[in-house]
Structure 1
Amino acid sequence: MKTFKIVALAIAIVTIVQTAKSQELKGNITISGAFALYPITVKWAEEFKKIHPNVKIDIQAGGAGKGITDVLSKVTDIGLVSRELNSAEYKKGAYAVAVTKDAVIPVISASSPYKKALYEKGVRKETFNNIFITGKYKTWNALGLKSDAPIHVYTRSDAAGAAETWASYFGKKQEDLLGVAVFGDPGLAQAVKRDPIGIGFNNIVYIYDMKTNKATNGVVPVPIDLNNNGKLDPDENFYGDIDQLIAAIISGKYPSPPARDLYFVTSGKPNNPIVKAFIKYILTNGQQFVNEAGYIKFSKEKLSKELEKVK
């Protein structure tokens, strides 16, 4: 009788192990798109593969435009999109799940001779509009600075969520932005970094160093004069480190846009079990990595709402 019980137990254990193996995730996920989402998506993939080592995840950054094009043409499983989707994209079958939040920030070079003055005055929204949209302001003295130097404006050459979001701050589209067009967030940051009289815009993670939480990547934020009083008040100066900026975005002090949700987009509601499992992981256990990576964590209510989309 004792021998029978041992044999039965052994059979049960083998059955459980075989069942677990048969349920183990195995396969590939292909992802492309927004530079804004690339760093955190790489982190999520690394952590997900620790749990599911037989899943291979290929991620390529190339801009939100590439992300939406690739996924709708079914070249990839997931498109990374760092802007709101439009009606035409939804009609083509785009299915968006918000996974985190960040913001687009205007930037100048850390070596800019105007940095001190700009942090005393701030820059009004209308001034940014006259730099990036109308082109009315062509020299730095138009901002009340004692300099006839031209303003070198930089924008994105690729179809970019950052550019679309920055333009939407002024009620415009990416194609309305003026400036020298540069590919990608890293490229734009480098262009502004090298140009003391330049101005551009970047996602948070390309401005701040994640180890120090400071803007030590060669570009610094241009503070927005939110109340248009011609000076940067203490409650408007939240750019000292990434924690202050994130708190301002969460509280709504930093405007939205250019703060925005970031999306994983699939072609139709996802039914691939590996893709579904990855998105579910991101909206649950994966959220523990969001803040430390320089992004904004959603509320429990928002996460629950997004999880419903992949059930």
Structure 2
Amino acid sequence: MKAFKLNRRRALASAAVALAGLDRTHAAEGKLTLTGSSTVAPLALEMAKRFEKQNPGVRIDVQSGGSSRGIADARSGAAQIGLVSRALKAEEHDLLAHTVALDGISIILHRSNPVALLSDAQIKAIYTGQVRHWREAGGPDLPITVVNKAEGRSTLELFLHYFELTNSQIKPQVVIGDNAQGIKTVAGNPGAIGYVSIGAADYEARQGAAIKLLPMGGVAASVAQVRAGKFPLSRPLNLVTRGQPTGLALAFIEFAKSKATHDLVEAQFFVALDAP
């Protein structure tokens, strides 16, 4: 019994040192690789920079490539942490999700397009090729350019699930990868329609990008509505590990979930979560 108590005290002491190290210079050493969602990657990169500054012995490599890559790399060990911008599926029970923020997915149009509202039925008709011209949706005399996400992107999966579609039913003119590419494509084409992260779209619109966000289900596409739990197409932004994280991975995840990163989350126009 004494040996058990001693080992338990040592384990607790080690855990305490690891967590305390978040606020100490030279508290941690080593390298982490994070890969996956292009939505989570910019936030993870800012978190990594701050963590490295507090822990000069640490190097964190952040790569994008889609949530599917984050899942695959976390499973294979190619990355200690996967970046996944959706909830885990039932068949992904071998992985653990650590939610660091919330986000929504918004329909975006070119800023010059006078259309201010599209129903779910209209969006579905546009994406399946039943409606091909903006005049059919109360818009300008322009053909519609449908911008869709590439396979492996969680944004695509959530969009398809919400509208009860399969990817084979979508009739796109342009297929894009990350949010930045989608925003650039719509901003450069007055007839385009796309869907991207609310956080990314809101930020770029504020910076002058020629896009606008449309409401969904009568709810404005905004960070405030995501925070209130009212926006219909919302999602968690996750750091994913294969089993319980330990060591440096655990220290970084605890840091990413703490109030020490809330300003970084808000700066990306995501919704910060209260630290447990």
Contact 1:106 1:201 in 2 (8 A): yes
Cα shift at 1:215: 6.0
Q: What's the CA shift for 1:68?
A: 1.1
Deviations along 1:193-220, one digit per CA (max 9) or x if unpaired, are 211111111112432337xx72622322
Letter in 2 for 1:270: P
**Preserved contact between residue 200 and residue 269 of structure 2 (Cα < 8 Å):** no
Distance 2:236 2:192 in 1: 27
Which residues in structure 2 correspond to 1:50-199 (within 5 Å)? 50-90=53-93, 93-110=94-111, 112=112, 114=113, 116=114, 118-119=115-116, 122-132=117-127, 134-145=128-139, 147=141, 149-174=142-167, 176-179=169-172, 180-199=174-193
Distance in 2 of aligned mates of 1:66 and 1:159: 8
Deviations 1:138-195 (A, max 9, x none): 2112213353x32110111241111112222213455554312122222222221211
Question: Is 1:48 aligned to 2:25, yes or no?
Answer: no
Give the 3 Å change call, closer, same or farther, for CA 130–87 of structure 1 in structure 2.
same
- Does residue 38 (structure 1) correspond to residue 41 (structure 2)? The answer is yes
Deviations 1:46-82 (A, max 9, x none): 1111211101000011111111111111111111001
State the distance in 2 between where 1:267 and 1:225 align.
Answer: 36
1:289 aligns with 2:264: yes
Q: Is the 8 A contact 1:158 1:184 kept in 2?
A: no
Query: Is there any run of 5+ residues in structure 2 with no aligned partner, and where?
Result: 1-20
- Specify whether residues 146 and 290 from structure 1 end up closer, same or farther in structure 2 by C-alpha distance, changes over 3 A only: closer
Distance, in Å, in 2 between the alignment partners of 1:30 and 1:253 is 34
Percent identical? 25
* Count of residues paired in the alignment: 251
C-alpha distance in structure 1 between counterparts of 2:270 and 2:140, whole Å: 37
CA contact (8 A) 1:154 1:178 kept: no
Is the contact between residue 291 and residue 297 of structure 1 (CA under 8 Å) also seen in structure 2? Answer: yes
Partner of 1:276: 250
Q: CA deviation at 1:224?
A: 3.1
Q: In structure 2, how many angstroms separate the alpha carbons of the residues matched to 1:254 and 1:281?
A: 28
Alignment correspondent of 2:196: 202
CA drift of 1:100 comes to: 0.6
Q: Which amino acid aligns with 2:189?
A: D
Report SS of the residue matched to 1:282.
helix
Given residue 160 of structure 1, which amino acid in structure 2 is its aligned partner? R
Given that 2:37 and 2:85 are in contact with CA atoms closer than 8 Å, whether structure 1 keeps it comes out as yes
Contact 1:81 1:265 in 2 (8 A): yes
Q: C-alpha distance in 1, partners of 2:175/2:145?
A: 11
**CA-atom RMSD in angstroms:** 2.2
- Gap runs ≥5 in structure 1: 1-19, 227-235, 240-244, 305-311
When the two structures are superposed, what TM-score results if normalisation uses the length of structure 1?
0.74
Letter in 2 for 1:277: A
1:225 Cα deviation from its structure 2 partner: 5.3
Mapped to 2, the partners of 1:267 and 1:85 lie a distance apart of 12
